[in-house]
Amino acid sequence: MHTLRIFQSEWLKTRRSLASWLVIIGGLFTPVIIFLIRIRRPHELPPIYQSPNFWQTVWNQSWESMAMFMFPMGIIMATGLITQLEFKNNAWKQLHTTPQRLTTIYGMKLFIVLVMLTQVFIAFNVFMYLFSVLPVALVRDVRYPTAHLDWLLFLRGNFSYFIDCLPIVGLQFLLGMHFKNFLVPFGLGFLLWIASLTGMTWEYNYILPYSYSMQDFLVNTGRKIPVNADIHVFAAIYFVVFVAVGYGMYIGKNEKG
């Protein structure tokens, strides 16, 4: 019960921040854009919706912008906003006077970030499906897709992309908990994302922690980039290292906030 109350307390703080809006926008943006593009040419939709590869096409189109841009940048912004709540409200000293261990404070804030990331994944998939079938109700002669929707395949794909995002969460959380100025973790995260984007064709691209969702998408869609390591193993290792280093820095700070 004590842990649940701590979670509720931390969760309530996010409701008053822009981070909660990023969950909705992050899940909604790409499906809406794809829907608007489709609906502009309604006469072209009937054969598209009867294609045997309809759902795979929807998946690839939706994840292109999410894997390459929306998820990396969204995580950079949302993690920074969540970790800055105490700095913004000048509430670190007050938080540290509560009967909570430092480990609990650090772990719960990280858990909140992961919960919000999970929410974005769920929202994105729900909106992707809903806006894909919406033209069936709005456009004449457009029937529900006959293509098989492999939920298990998409579930595995989501899990793979979730693992890809963990290094970004870990490092941005470390930076956000360490620097009082929001622009520092945001700027560093943006530079690392640009570096990962430009290093995609490098033979050692697997060491770039912000590149894994982009690499995953490019490989899954048949793009030719070097694949010399299991990026999911590297993603998990990076996440554990970043979280451990961040925890050590947080515990070791003389003035925590």
- Per-residue pLDDT, 221: 87
Please check whether residue 26 is in contact with residue 79, taking contact to mean a CB–CB distance below 8 angstroms: no
Q: Which residues, in sequence order, are CB contacts of 65 under 8 Å at separation 6+? A: 30, 33
- Per-residue pLDDT, 248: 92
Distances, alpha carbon 20 to alpha carbons 13, 15, 153, 182, in Å: 10, 6, 29, 17
207 half-sphere exposure, CB direction, 13 A CA radius: 3
Residue 182 has which token pair? 């929001």
**Per-residue pLDDT for the chain (257 aa), expressed as one digit of tens each?**
566 776 676 666 666 667 677 778 888 999 999 999 989 888 889 999 999 999 999 999 999 989 998 889 989 988 888 888 777 666 666 766 777 787 888 888 899 899 989 999 999 999 999 999 999 988 888 899 989 888 998 999 999 999 999 999 999 999 988 888 888 999 999 999 999 989 988 999 999 999 999 999 999 888 888 888 899 999 999 999 999 999 998 888 766 55
- Per-residue pLDDT, 82: 83
- Per-residue pLDDT, 6: 65
Rounded Cα distance between 161 and 13, Å, is: 27
What tens digit of pLDDT does each residue of 206-249 get? 999 999 999 999 998 888 888 888 999 999 999 999 999 999 98
What tens digit of pLDDT does each residue of 17-44 get? 676 777 788 889 999 999 999 898 888 8
Between vectors from CA 195 to CA 23 and to CA 222, what angle results, nearest 5°? Answer: 75
Task: Name the nearest CA neighbour of 83 among 184, 176, 147, 175.
Answer: 176
- Per-residue pLDDT, 250: 87
Task: Name the nearest CA neighbour of 196 among 151, 165, 220.
Answer: 165
Domain range list for the chain: 2-252
* Cβ count near 92 (within 10 Å): 16
Please check whether residue 207 is in contact with residue 219, taking contact to mean a CB–CB distance below 8 angstroms: no
Rounded Cα distance between 157 and 153, Å, is: 6
- Per-residue pLDDT, 216: 93
Task: Name the nearest CA neighbour of 189 among 71, 73, 25.
Answer: 73
Between vectors from CA 168 to CA 229 and to CA 10, what angle results, nearest 5°? Answer: 140
